[in-house]
């Protein structure tokens, strides 16, 4: 258990352990909440979104996560507009493998030629010649895993992708992918309320693979007044959201939460979670 602030992603990219998930920077501000947010169009508050991304860098955030499916590529364009030319140490992670035929549909598509094409489009939108971390958004059961990971490996061999990541995978799937190409990261749903990937975290720790929990801040009863999380937050002089992130950082040294927000206040709070350190007793109390 540790609250060290840096993780070497892929063994060679130093990443601060609170990143930024850019998915929510889409549509109008009132349309961004919840698991069913459309993430369909560019943000209506574009100047504020650009300022927020730049503020994140000023706060020390150097890992930004996006995907070609977020607002049909305009999320990647937003990151480039805000951050290009990228400062030394600023890393962009994106994904391919999901298509969006409508605002309510997220459909897995892993044809290897499609994955390679989407990487080319991401390179253009991000205004870069190499993607730091290119992630398979979902494994598609319609195509052999070797073909899907092989497409990403080909991009890596061509110098267009530095490191390969996976999203929403089991230990079995991760192990199979590792036989095909080096895997630098796994991005799965994980927070205080959703802990179905404990085995994946343990495996990635052993393998030196980064674990990026998305939707990292649990809501509802876990952060309610009087909850163990709220009580520990009070002891630390922190907010429940900060303490939830600190809990994740304490869980394992390879955990890199990527909270997303369009609020400058919450952005600063999230970045500040790196300064919190839980005792083993506080960690267990929060875990319940």
Where are the domains positioned within the chain? 6-287
At residue 234, the pLDDT reads 96
pTM: 0.96
For β-strands 91-96 and 161-167, DSSP reports them as: unpaired
* Catalytic residue positions, numbered: 70
Q: What is the distance between the alpha carbons of residues 126 and 217, in angstroms, rounded to a whole number?
A: 27
At residue 115, the pLDDT reads 98
Just give the CATH number of 6-287.
Answer: 3.20.20.100
- Mean pLDDT of successive 10-residue stretches along the chain, which has 288 residues: 81 97 97 92 98 98 98 98 96 98 98 98 98 98 98 98 98 98 98 96 98 89 86 96 97 97 96 96 95
At residue 3, the pLDDT reads 57
């Amino acid at each position: 258990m540790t609250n060290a602030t840096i993780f070497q992603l892929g063994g060679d990219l130093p990443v601060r352990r609170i990143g930024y998930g850019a998915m929510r920077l889409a549509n109008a501000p009132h349309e961004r909440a919840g698991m069913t947010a459309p993430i369909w169009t560019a943000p209506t508050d574009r100047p504020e979104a650009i300022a927020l991304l730049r503020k994140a860098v000023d706060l020390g955030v150097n890992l930004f996560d996006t995907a070609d499916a977020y607002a049909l590529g305009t999320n990647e364009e937003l990151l480039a507009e805000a951050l290009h030319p990228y400062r030394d140490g600023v890393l962009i992670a994106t994904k391919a493998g999901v298509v969006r035929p409508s605002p309510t549909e997220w459909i897995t598509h892993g044809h290897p030629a499609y994955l390679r094409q989407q990487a080319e489009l991401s390179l253009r939108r991000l205004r870069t010649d190499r993607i730091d971390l290119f992630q398979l958004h979902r494994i598609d059961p319609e195509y052999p895993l070797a073909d899907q990971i092989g497409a990403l490996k080909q991009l890596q061999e061509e110098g267009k992708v530095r490191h390969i990541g996976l999203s929403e995978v089991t230990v079995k799937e991760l192990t199979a992918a590792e036989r095909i190409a080096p895997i630098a990261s796994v991005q799965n749903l994980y927070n205080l309320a959703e802990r179905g990937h404990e085995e994946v975290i343990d495996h990635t720790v052993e393998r030196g693979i980064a674990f990026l929990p998305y939707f990292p801040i649990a809501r509802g009863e876990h952060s309610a007044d009087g909850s163990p999380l709220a009580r520990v937050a009070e002891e630390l002089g922190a907010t429940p959201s900060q303490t939830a992130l600190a809990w994740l950082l304490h869980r394992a040294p390879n955990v890199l939460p990527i909270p997303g927000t369009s609020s400058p206040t919450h952005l600063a709070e999230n970045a500040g979670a790196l300064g919190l350190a839980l005792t083993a007793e506080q960690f267990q109390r929060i875990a319940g």
